[in-house]
Amino acid sequence: MAQVIKGIFPESSKSETKKDDKQVSSYILHISITFSDPLIWRRIQVPGTFTLAQLHDVIQLSMGWSDSHVHQFLVGKISYEPTIKTNALRESKRFDEHKYKLHTLEEGMRFMFSYLYGAGEGWEHEIHLEEVVPPTRQLKHPILLSGEMACPPETVGDIHHYLQLVTALESPGSKNHNSLYELSGHDDFDPGYFDLEAAKKRVSAWR
């Protein structure tokens, strides 16, 4: 008799009915834009009861993005993204980020965890699980702990183009010297400045 090999897939949060969310740990995550130099990063703490969709919101707020592009997560070896209700087989095979809570994905988060924002090359974010915080006190809201460097303007296509513009900004004789100012819409844009307190307020106001 042929052996039946079963695939291993993450469990939907809907199947976690027996687990008390009040006893779930929270996570401290270090999020950085891949290939950025100096590194553009944020450190956040989020409840383990958060879905990937909620984590998406927090990343947007902490980084300073405006949620105007497509996105997806890669946890372990599985891709998660928003799905549209449809009967199409193509859509039904996708993993909906709204259905999966972080505490159900912890093993995959330790192995491989990334977030892609934007079409084409886009902005790839590496997410490192730094600490699992025991549920001695239930965390209900996300917290931005620290971070460095400004969020790149979304009118720039990817990190490589952005770094070229930053280099040009540091070279007054370059023909592209003012391009970063023009693309950001601010003539005082500073790639090295991150307003931590303002970002903390954005994240703390999450609902």
Return d(Cα 114, Cα 127) in angstroms, integer. Answer: 5
| Contacts with 41 (C-beta within 8 Å, 6 or more apart), sequence order | 30, 31, 32, 33, 147, 148, 149
Q: What is the pLDDT of residues 67-82, one digit of tens each?
A: 999 999 999 999 999 9
Q: Edge to edge, what strands does the sheet with 71-75 contain?
A: 95-96, 78-81, 71-75, 113-117, 123-133, 26-33, 41-47, 143-148
Six-digit token pair at 155? Answer: 């009118």
Q: What is the pLDDT of residues 153-205, one digit of tens each?
A: 998 989 999 999 999 888 777 777 788 888 888 888 999 999 999 999 999 99
Task: Tell me the Ramachandran region of residue 131: left when phi exceeds 0, alpha when psi lies from -120 to 50, beta otherwise.
Answer: beta
Given a contact cutoff of 8 angstroms between Cβ atoms, the answer to whether 47 and 151 are in contact is no
Give the residue carrying structure tokens 């106001």.
205
In a 13 Å sphere around the CA of 109, the CA atoms on its Cβ side amount to 23
Return d(Cα 170, Cα 188) in angstroms, integer. Answer: 13
Helix/strand/coil percent split, the chain, to 5: 30, 25, 45
Six-digit token pair at 104? Answer: 């159900």
152: nearest Cα among 167, 138, 142, 162: 162
pTM as predicted = 0.85
Residue 39: pLDDT above 50?
Answer: yes
**What is the model's pLDDT at position 10?**
58
| Contacts with 170 (C-beta within 8 Å, 6 or more apart), sequence order | none
Domains of the chain plus CATH, in order, are: 24-150+197-204 (3.10.290.30)
Residue 55: pLDDT above 80?
Answer: yes
| Distance (Å) of CA 192 to CA 15, 24, 169, 199, 200 | 44, 36, 12, 15, 18
